[in-house]
Amino acid sequence: MDQLRTRLTERRVDTKTGEFSGYGAVFENLDSHGDRISRGAFAKTLAAWKGRGRLPHMRLMHADSGNIWDDLPIGIWTEMREDGHGLFVRGKLLALDTDYGRRLLSLMDAGALDGLSIGYSVIQKTAGSGPTKRWLDELRLFEISVVDDPSNGEARVTPLSASDAAFDRFREAVGGLKLDAGTEGPVDRLRAALQRLGDEQ
């Protein structure tokens, strides 16, 4: 399994919920290994995960401590998709009521754990030129870890702000509205506008 690490955009998470979002990988950016990821490289693997009804695990440092308890998942990924920038991910740290969970949250909030790293295998690649050794055209995604030393400085993670959470709750509420006669048109337009805004986030 290969690894590609990226840096968090901000050195903090939502300290109440443990939620954060950002990019596990950035398209076409040259990493420290000389690789660039092609746009659409994750399309098939994301479709395969969707078919299983789940997303890859969230690990700490690729679960390489050798301790089975330390290598358990540290949270869950709640969203994973490609956009124009790269592989967007949204996740949530778990067990925040434990010493271990509080320590992870503190390390991420302080910036000591300030990166993401994808664990993957290469399905299709093409040779690069100059500083670019390879173009990674199709990847199989196994897991995404929170790490301390990313190799790709552009793909970053941002905290999920309270306004983001409020927007999601508002969009869900509008989606569940029961309509009276004559209100379908305006509400449908509002729903469509909210969907477009959500897709741009």
pLDDT at 66: 82
CB atoms < 10 A from the CB of 196, how many?
9
Q: In degrees, to the nearest 5, what angle opens at C-alpha 110 toward C-alphas 13 and 96?
A: 50
One digit per residue, the tens of pLDDT, for the chain of length 201 reads 676 666 655 445 899 999 998 889 999 999 888 999 999 999 999 999 999 999 999 999 888 888 888 789 999 999 999 999 999 999 999 999 999 999 999 999 888 888 888 999 999 999 999 999 999 999 999 999 998 875 565 545 554 444 455 555 555 666 666 556 566 666 666 666 666 555 544
Lookup: tokens for 11 = 């050195």
My answer on whether 129 and 147 are in the same domain is: yes
My answer on whether 93 and 172 are in the same domain is: no
Q: In degrees, to the nearest 5, what angle opens at C-alpha 66 toward C-alphas 60 and 109?
A: 20
Rounded alpha-carbon distances, angstroms, from residue 107 to 32, 60, 103, 157, 191: 24, 12, 6, 14, 38
My answer on whether 87 and 174 are in the same domain is: no
Longest pairwise C-alpha distance within the chain: 64
My answer on whether 97 and 169 are in the same domain is: no
Side chain identity at 144, as an amino acid letter? I
Q: Which domain holds residue 88?
A: 2-160
My answer on whether 20 and 32 are in the same domain is: yes
My answer on whether 197 and 156 are in the same domain is: no
My answer on whether 95 and 168 are in the same domain is: no
My answer on whether 22 and 57 are in the same domain is: yes
- Single pTM value for the model: 0.72
My answer on whether 52 and 130 are in the same domain is: yes
Give the strand pairing for 157-159 and 19-26.
Answer: antiparallel
My answer on whether 78 and 172 are in the same domain is: no
- Total count of domains within the chain: 2
Lookup: tokens for 100 = 């271990």
pLDDT at 175: 63
My answer on whether 80 and 96 are in the same domain is: yes
Give the strand pairing for 19-26 and 86-93.
Answer: antiparallel
My answer on whether 108 and 40 are in the same domain is: yes
Give the residues across from 146 on adjacent strands. 60, 116
